[in-house]
């Protein structure tokens, strides 16, 4: 396929095969990393950036079709004479977002009762479901607005190993403080028992904190769980809110990325291993969600903060030494 201004046009008939290879091994590895890390407070985006680097999927050399002609994501125009050619990196960056469909499906299956309740609430038949839906919408709005306004700048300037290292350290510090704050709040009996008891203001504050997750390596799930702590949620409920809000946020991000760059990804990689990665992500995400709920209820966030610091140190050695 050839792309003009982000829209798909037909390739010459000679282009019948993917322009580059995404092996079964690469698809499985990326699917596992996405599924395991998406809902754990350690940053799926950061781990995927590291993984694509390790798998050598970062080439920015322009790709060519079977007829030897360049493949375009955005063809040259008066406003952009150089155009934007299809590259392996562009396809890989899109792939790491699109396989979030697997993680989204896992949450939908595990928490279907809550989604049914919210749907009934939308119809005016479940008051608790409606309150939960309103809370999720309020929490979703801040990151959605900032993400729409700044996503090009983020893609150009923040997707690097160095920014991931900084985010891992900053996130660890925030988690350790939040865990200390939560334990003090629990001792004082200041906890919200159920998600539907969250106020609109608390939901908005969680949403504002989620904006930090636009920094690759910070972790969307971590910022929402920490926001839940500050709102008074028990650890289990904070994790569950992060899963439900993640469904909304990831769905919007994945649909947007699929619309803008999904065709480019398919032109480079083809369909089969893209679907394989989504399936692997769904299965591993379901396991990770179940694990996190039990683990965070018993142990909190401290272990994950330590993991982030170790990861940052290892990456710094790898990158700079």
Residue spans of the domains in the chain: they are: 21-60+87-320
- For residue 296, what are its two tokens? 């965070």
| Residue pair 87/64 in contact by the 8 Å Cβ criterion | no
Angle made by CA atoms 227, 231, 233, in degrees to the nearest 5: 95
Nearest alpha-carbon partner for 28 in 55, 49, 50 = 55
> Cβ distance 168 to 217 under 8 Å?
yes
Calpha distance 96→259 (Å, rounded): 14
Cα 242 from Cα 226, distance rounded (Å): 9
> Rounded distance, CA 3 to CA 75, Å?
6
pLDDT of the chain along its 321 residues, tens only?
A: 333 334 444 333 334 466 666 788 999 999 999 999 999 999 998 899 889 988 988 888 888 776 777 777 778 888 888 878 888 888 888 888 889 999 999 999 999 999 999 999 999 999 999 999 999 999 999 999 998 888 778 877 777 888 999 999 999 999 999 999 988 877 666 666 678 888 999 999 999 999 999 998 899 999 999 999 999 898 999 999 999 999 999 899 889 888 877 877 887 777 888 899 999 999 999 999 999 999 999 999 999 999 999 999 999 998 777
Cα distance between residue 183 and residue 116, in whole Å: 33
Q: What is the pTM of this model?
A: 0.85
């Amino acid at each position: 396929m050839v792309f003009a201004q982000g829209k798909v046009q037909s390739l010459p008939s000679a282009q019948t095969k993917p322009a580059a290879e995404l092996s079964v091994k690469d698809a499985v590895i990326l699917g596992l990393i996405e599924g395991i890390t998406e809902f754990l407070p350690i940053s799926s985006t950061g781990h995927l950036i590291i993984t694509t680097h390790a798998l050598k999927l970062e080439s920015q050399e322009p790709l060519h079709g079977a007829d030897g002609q360049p493949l375009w994501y955005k063809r040259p125009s008066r406003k952009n004479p150089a155009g934007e050619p299809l590259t392996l990196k562009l396809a890989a960056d899109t792939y790491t977002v699109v396989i979030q469909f697997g993680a989204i499906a896992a949450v939908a299956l595990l928490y279907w009762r809550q989604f049914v309740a919210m749907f009934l609430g939308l119809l005016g038949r479940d008051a608790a479901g409606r309150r939960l839906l309103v809370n999720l919408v309020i929490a979703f709005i801040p990151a959605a607005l900032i993400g729409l306004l700044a996503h090009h700048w983020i893609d150009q300037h923040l997707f690097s190993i160095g920014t991931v290292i900084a985010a891992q350290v900053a996130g660890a510090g925030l988690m350790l403080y939040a865990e200390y704050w939560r334990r003090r709040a629990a001792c004082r009996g200041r906890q919200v028992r159920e998600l539907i008891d969250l106020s609109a203001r608390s939901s908005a504050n969680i949403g504002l904190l989620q904006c930090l997750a636009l920094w690759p390596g910070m972790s969307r799930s971590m910022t929402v769980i920490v926001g839940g702590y500050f709102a008074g949620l028990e650890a289990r409920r904070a994790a569950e809110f992060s899963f439900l809000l993640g469904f909304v946020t990831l769905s919007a991000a994945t649909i947007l990325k699929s619309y803008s760059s999904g065709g480019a990804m398919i032109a480079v990689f083809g369909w089969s291993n893209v679907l394989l990665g989504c399936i692997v992500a769904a299965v591993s995400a379901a396991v990770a969600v179940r694990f996190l709920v039990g683990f965070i209820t018993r142990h909190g966030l401290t272990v994950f903060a330590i993991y982030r610091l170790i990861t940052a140190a290892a990456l710094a050695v790898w990158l700079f030494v």
